[in-house]
Structure 1
């Protein structure tokens, strides 16, 4: 009988709750029998065999025996072993082809797969942020005194652009030495563009329209035209979503949409 042992590696958890959430995410529906062509073993026994076989690779955090979709007991030849420890994954892969109590272990790494429903939900959150009217109209400002602290840049630009209309969001990018300022209405954006060449603290401003959903729309049907640029506010937000859960992304989307930094 062949046993396909699919590995997931973990690098540590901040709390017991985080560890439990990780295991529950991988678990699926458990099977109570692990069966071959002519024998069935209790789930506890197959888990014990796998723990004993892989404990030299690192801490065996969990062994999961998923239930097959058609619930056929003769197809239960797959288990997930979750290992914790430096180099645990590489050590376990070296056990590929070894004997586990009469079974031939075929070991491979299982890539993380996002649940389809979770993926759709995450996409809807990002789409909501992408098309938020708060970020439809804006300007990119360069040329000001970049040696000033961020709070002084914000204060100076807020004062300079306040007559244009309601500033809905502003972001000082210290790396690119530019500031993006967004407005509620198109005519407010036009007033801001008219300030091109004016001075703040003796520095001449270079002002252009910021890439937004309205100013550089895709062509449709998934096509992207020449010169298309990702909306600037999405680039600003992008670094906030790495390795986050859906709930964490939802919280960050809400917080990001509420930011009114120049107010």
Structure 2
């Protein structure tokens, strides 16, 4: 394989790595059902960027949701979904005020192995 072709593959592989940003969200009623909560939050934070996952921890003994929950955004170079999400802190989401916090040291991170968690494969 030519040297220029190898360099092209290396740069393509580096560009395919995914960048993620993560925030914590508080202020919701922990006795609500998880699915409607996720729908409301997905709609509320859609303007911030592409949402990859909304992780809602549970207390199985008490049968309630725990607080805070975490939202993970796919972040492109030059974009900051965390900053956009922080601007929504204190806004109304279906009768409760959302409290958004950035997580220290995790404003943006790269997936080092390029693992696609939905396909279970390495890229």
For normalisation by structure 2, the TM-score amounts to: 0.55
The answer (yes or no) to whether the contact 2:57–2:65 under 8 Å persists in 1 is no
Aligned to 1:76: 66
Shift of 1:79: 1.2
Task: Give the 3-state SS of the residue equivalent to 2:57 in structure 1.
Answer: coil
Normalized per residue, the structure richer in helix is 1
In the alignment, structure 1 segments of 5+ residues that lack a partner are: 1-11, 27-33, 114-242, 246-263
Partner of 1:104: 97
Give deviations 1:127-176, integer Å, cap 9, x for gaps: xxxxxxxxxxxxxxxxxxxxxxxxxxxxxxxxxxxxxxxxxxxxxxxxxx
The change in CA–CA distance for 1:13 and 1:112 in structure 2 (over 3 A counts) is farther
Show structure 1 runs of 4+ deviating over 4 A.
Answer: none
Match of 2:43 in 1: 52
Q: Deviations over 1:212-258 (max 9, x none)?
A: xxxxxxxxxxxxxxxxxxxxxxxxxxxxxxx867xxxxxxxxxxxxx
Q: Which digits, 9 at most, give the CA deviation of each residue in 1:42-63, with x for residues without a partner? A: 2111110110000001111111
State how 1:1-263 maps to structure 2 within 5 Å. Answer: 14=17, 35-36=29-30, 40-68=31-59, 71-74=61-64, 76-85=66-75, 86-111=79-104
Q: Whose radius of gyration is greater, 1 or 2?
A: 1
Counterpart of 2:53 in 1: which secondary structure? strand
Q: Give me the whole-angstrom Cα distance separating, in 1, the residues matched to 2:29 and 2:62.
A: 10
Distance 1:71 1:79 in 2: 18
How many angstroms apart in 2 are the aligned matches of 1:107 and 1:244? Answer: 27
The 1:67/1:74 distance shift into structure 2, 3 A limit, reads closer
Name which structure has the greater RCO, CA cutoff 8 Å, separation 6+.
2
3-state SS of 1:111 partner: coil
Higher strand share: 2
Unaligned runs of 5+ in 2: 1-14, 23-27, 114-123
